Structure 1
């Protein structure tokens, strides 16, 4: 049955209309095959099909089948506005704001828009590189090891005059071409990073400060690169990963969530005892973006912004240590049942692993992080003692077995997490290796890759070697009978050396 012509096509296209159009297209194919073609009818049918596709494109409404609706709504009987309201109110799916019909470009303009976009991005990248301030030679020399697992963030902090986070974040978004891809204004970037570092210095923490944020940001980059998971991600997802890492402890108070809950702090009251600090980190960081002078994402499209914000929130909330068991259990179950890997869950696990990664790095780094963390714990224990509260585990500076605690932390938390990261990466990357097994990958993102399983094996053996070496160092301390106080003093001396 031929469609009716000469009528205005509704921008909401029902399932029945789609079925009719499919039948129509099949009929045209059959006519062409038997060469019984009425060219006038063929022209009318093609014009109708083209107008249908254009209406679909300009409305931004994808075809929806009954079985795919979250609320089992029949799209041909429920008005589009009502369906959107139900979906946005009673499901977790975020509905994009529809643009007006006249805001959508016509098909004929798309090729020109793509060509212009490529040209603008190239010009922006060139102008961006020219406008960036020159880095001192010492900083440039330090950044040469950026892709190495043993990268020394303490050295970078020293040669950058205490601006390791700002220096590292700028270097990474340029390295991944994210500044040009998403048109990040230089002035906004500099202002944002200054505010970010200021927030990390708010409570003068020994451990949870801008240097730790820089270290975690570098580790996320290195994890993505070493596991090859980087090539599984879109550019927006890479941007979200680096941003989440940079902000993940913004304005950290130097205390645990349980301390906030037990003392009924203002943050505990605001966030109802649920992921107290993590909720504040991500909320406060996004509030920085409310100011147009610090909004580094000002040129993102609304769908890009919504996707990035959703991913960053999930990743930062995933750094709540109380969610560790659930994260590990969920990913392990996914791997055992051969389910597809959920990207937000995978990236949340990667950020969590980066947050606890220093025991899986060389002793020269791990031994400098440990006394900083212990001093922060001990400071909280001092506060708890003054307030008449029970001192939290590992927070008593006079009665905490540091060596044993580090060994247990590696055996029960760090090693299982990194083992899971390695397993997860293999499941993600091996299909990519198989898909790009041709003579030369066409995508420029894959040209620099050595597509071998040996890379994954090398990553696993690297972190296993470091954790084992570090555990042996701590075991030696236990054998030598180093007391709790002597242990802390020795580590502090190493840190300041």
Structure 2
């Protein structure tokens, strides 16, 4: 089917969606726009638009930034002048609704590891022969790397994580030597959806690959929002969620672990399956090295302070 002519200018719908966001420190309209822009970079950098986006997928991009699917579709129903889906058939509208819901639900961190495992399994199955020929199993963070490039990815990933140099977030939007690499054709609609879900998940964490100054601003906003929720939980007498207690260490003090167990394996999986996304992986790695160095320096300073205190106590005694 051809791309339908929109009866509503998309910017009118986007402005109405923007107006519906709460003024949260992190999960606000700016975050939605940032995720949408990052998804655009990933889709085109990884060449996903060649095989993975049909006209419905392109229309879905207008809604993917809205984390409240029901509210988004209700908006289209109540305000027909904003309905960009009006030219679609009933069947196509139903298909789009299903696609948008499944994409957005995949950003729920409760589904993170199952989605990532499924993605890796699918891509291992797509290259079973090369995986078997490799005769190697992953280790550590690389355990779930797609089989066809497992050995090479292991070495590249380790070198990237522990090197001292590297690019910063500025390289993310500029592409790289693999930016024009062709994306492999999906085996079926299920694989197409899964790959788009992973791309959106990476986009949802896109600030981790931004320039350090931008990344830190987003991180501070996220921590502020977490602390506000922790304050509400305390007022209601509820157990305070991990990282939400402002009297303890917040999310800004847990970046190394988040990069190692969530962000890097996710981006590594995407860039291994779609080499055009490699610049994003490089930027994530650069920021990870920053936090890793900061953690080591903080540990060394704490150890030095403890040693000095012990020496002072011994001198007094």
TM-aligned CA deviation for residue 186 of structure 1: 4.1
2:256–2:288 CA contact under 8 A, matched in 1:
no
Alignment gaps of 5+ in structure 1: 1-113, 118-180, 250-280, 427-454, 482-497
Taking a change above 3 Å as real, the CA distance of residues 229 and 473 of structure 1, as seen in their structure-2 partners, is farther
CA contact (8 A) 2:244 2:250 kept: no
SS of 1:200's partner is coil
Equivalent pair of 2:256/2:292 in contact (CA under 8 Å): yes
Structure-1 separation of matches of 2:296 and 2:85: 48
- Structure 1 residues 310 and 382, CA, compared in 2 at 3 Å: closer, same or farther? same
Q: Is the 8 A contact 1:244 1:312 kept in 2?
A: yes
Aligned equivalents of 2:278 and 2:24: distance in 1?
37
Match for residue 26 of structure 2?
Answer: 207
Give matches, 1:35-434, under 5 Å: 181-186=3-8, 189-201=10-22, 204-247=23-66, 249=67, 281-290=68-77, 291-338=79-126, 340=187, 342-426=191-275
Distance in 1 (CA, whole Å) between partners of 2:282 and 2:65 is 27
Q: Secondary structure at the match of 1:296?
A: coil
Aligned in 2, Cα 1:403/1:212: closer, same or farther, shift over 3 Å? closer
Matched, 1:463 2:284: yes
Residues 169-200 of structure 1, C-alpha deviation per residue, up to 9 Å, x if partnerless?
Answer: xxxxxxxxxxxx4322345x344223211211
Using the TM superposition, give the Cα deviation of residue 244 of structure 1 relative to its aligned residue in structure 2, in angstroms.
3.9
Deviation of the 1:463 alpha carbon: 3.4
Distance 1:461 1:206 in 2: 28
Q: 1:182 to 1:422 in 2, by over 3 A?
A: same
Change (3 A) 1:358 1:475: farther
Cα distance between partner residues in 2 of 1:197 and 1:328: 30
Secondary structure of the residue aligned to 1:289 is helix
Report the equivalent of 1:66.
none
Deviations 1:118-150 (A, max 9, x none): xxxxxxxxxxxxxxxxxxxxxxxxxxxxxxxxx
Partner of 1:103: none
Change (3 A) 1:215 1:190: closer
Q: Distance in 2 between matches of 1:477 and 1:372?
A: 22
- The Cα of 1:478 is off from its aligned counterpart by 5.6
Shift of 1:346: 1.0
Deviation at 1:362, TM superposition (A): 1.9
Contact 2:6-2:85 within 8 A present in 1 as well: yes
Structure 1: distance between partners of 2:71 and 2:53: 26
- Cα contact 1:227–1:425 (8 A) shared by 2: yes
- When the two chains are superposed, the root-mean-square deviation of aligned CA atoms in Å is 2.4
Residues in 2 aligned to 1:479 and 1:199: alpha-carbon distance in whole angstroms: 47
Alignment check: 8 A CA contact 1:363 1:470 kept: no
Matched pairs, number: 240
Q: Which structure is higher in RCO with an 8 Å CA cutoff and minimum separation 6?
A: 2
Aligned-residue offset at 1:331: 0.9
TM superposition score normalised by structure 2? 0.69
1:476 to 1:370, Cα distance in 2 relative to 1, 3 A: farther
Whether the aligned pair in 2 keeps the contact of 1:216 and 1:354 (CA below 8 Å) is yes
Contact 1:241/1:347 (8 A) holds in 2: no
Measured in 1, the distance between the counterparts of 2:48 and 2:20 equals 31
User: Could you say what secondary structure the match of 1:293 adopts?
Assistant: helix
Cα 1:478–1:287 shift into 2, 3 Å: farther
Structure with higher Rg: it is: 1
1:472 aligns with 2:293: yes
